[in-house]
DNA sequence: GCGTCCAGGTCTACC
DNA sequence: GGTAGACCTGGACGC
């Protein structure tokens, strides 16, 4: 689909802010979709609005802010506030980095993180469905296989945005996947038992569900409760999908945080998830999500200090 | 080459 | 309310 230039605007993001670190994070996570393009400080990506409309987005740093160019087949004036809000959320406009970094006065881990990745805002560009696909594909699978499942979903059922001389493939819409039988999904993308979860989530969202901007306004416990109504979404997945940044410990990250907090490698990483989560809540409170993201993007540096045993 | 185990969770049956 | 066991698939490992 060839998209035409639509709304262009500049966002002033509060300091500290590093555009490159925010949209192209060190561990290689994509901003919104794995097929987006980041070259010479410019990002070409896409977002999907609540209506289901796909927008192409080109962004680059401009002074203390960010120049945002959106591309659409047709853009309504009424959609402009939603675009601005989604981009602000995607660039971490609301992240309280000053307060997070201030914890570094007493917490040596945060002191190091804020030094290593200064200005990296968490950002939450995607909608509920894209994050649900990510979370479910991450379950019980090595990274390679998770990536294969997600790539297959995007290539087979995703939507292409051609704009500004670039082509970006975006996650499938809930309406699109709601029309696919779970047996077909399981076979085509080797999703295994996850296929019925994905089909179920697609149907629920296609039938009407709070969007990411609405979830942001709820209390953290309420958001998690709402998200856990999805089939196949438990504590871990709900915290990945939530725009309020929880502490989604899995076996891999539980091992890392146990080594950082307690200085030892747990023999049963799954068994320490509850304990590590409780300590994180007590130690970092509302900034536990910041610590989680910062740590996973700073592993090479932390390995030297904390002797983390396994990086991948 | 073949069989077994298990991995970046969740659900369900059973106690 | 707590907890085994099952769930897809595919790579690693032992034989």
The long-range contacts involving A229-235, CB below 8 angstroms and separated by at least 24 positions, are A229/A204, A230/A132, A230/A197, A230/A200, A230/A201, A230/A204, A231/A196, A231/A197, A231/A200, A231/A201, A232/A136, A232/A139, A232/A194, A232/A196, A232/A197, A232/A198, A232/A200, A232/A201, A233/A132, A233/A135, A233/A136, A233/A197, A233/A201
Instruction: Report the nucleotide nearest the CA of residue A228, measured to C1'.
Output: B10
Q: How far is the CA of A19 from the C1' of B1 (A)?
A: 52
Instruction: Report the nucleotide nearest the CA of residue A312, measured to C1'.
Output: B8
**Tens digit of each residue's pLDDT (9 = 90 or more) over A101-156:** 999 999 999 999 999 999 999 999 999 999 999 999 999 999 999 999 999 999 99
**Tens digit of each residue's pLDDT (9 = 90 or more) over A202-256:** 999 999 999 999 999 999 999 999 999 999 999 999 999 999 999 999 999 999 9
Q: How far is the CA of A209 from the C1' of C8 (A)?
A: 28
pLDDT score, position A312: 37
**Tens digit of each residue's pLDDT (9 = 90 or more) over A12-36:** 999 999 999 999 999 999 999 999 9
d(CA A50, CA A89): 14
Determine contact, residues A45/A36, Cβ cutoff 8 Å: yes
CB-contacted nucleotides of strand B (7 Å): 7-11
Q: How far is the CA of A62 from the C1' of C9 (A)?
A: 46
pLDDT score, position A268: 85
Contact flag, residue A25 CB and nucleic strand C, below 7 A: no
Per-residue confidence band for A309, with pLDDT thresholds at 50, 70 and 90? low
d(CA A227, CA A134): 14
């Amino acid at each position: 689909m060839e998209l035409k230039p639509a709304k262009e605007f500049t966002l002033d993001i509060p300091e500290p802010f590093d555009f490159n670190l925010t949209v192209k994070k060190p561990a290689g996570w994509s901003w919104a979709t794995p097929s987006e393009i980041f070259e010479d400080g410019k990002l070409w990506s896409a977002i999907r609005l609540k209506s289901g409309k796909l927008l192409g987005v080109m962004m680059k740093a401009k002074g203390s802010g960010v120049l945002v160019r959106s591309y659409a087949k047709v853009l309504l004036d009424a959609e402009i506030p939603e675009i601005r809000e989604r981009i602000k959320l995607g660039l971490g406009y609301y992240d309280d980095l000053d307060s997070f970094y201030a914890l570094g006065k007493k917490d040596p881990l945060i002191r190091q993180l804020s030094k290593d990745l200064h200005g990296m805002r968490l950002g939450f560009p995607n909608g509920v469905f894209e994050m649900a696909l990510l979370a479910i594909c991450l379950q019980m699978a090595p990274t390679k296989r998770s990536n294969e499942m997600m790539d297959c979903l995007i290539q087979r059922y995703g939507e292409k945005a051609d704009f500004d001389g670039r082509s970006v493939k975006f996650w499938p819409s809930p309406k699109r996947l709601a029309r696919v039988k779970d047996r077909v999904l399981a076979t085509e993308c080797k999703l295994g038992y996850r296929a019925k979860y994905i089909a179920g989530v697609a149907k629920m969202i296609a039938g009407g569900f709070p969007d990411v901007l609405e979830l942001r306004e709820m209390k953290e416990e309420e958001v998690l409760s709402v998200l856990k109504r999805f089939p196949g979404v438990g504590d871990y997945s709900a915290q990945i999908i939530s725009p309020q940044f929880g502490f989604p410990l899995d076996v891999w990250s539980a091992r890392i945080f146990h080594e950082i907090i307690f200085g030892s490698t747990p023999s049963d990483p799954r068994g320490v998830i509850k304990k590590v989560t409780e300590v994180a809540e007590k130690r970092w409170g509302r900034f536990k999500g910041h610590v989680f993201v910062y740590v996973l993007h700073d592993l090479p540096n932390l390995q030297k200090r904390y002797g983390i045993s396994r990086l991948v």
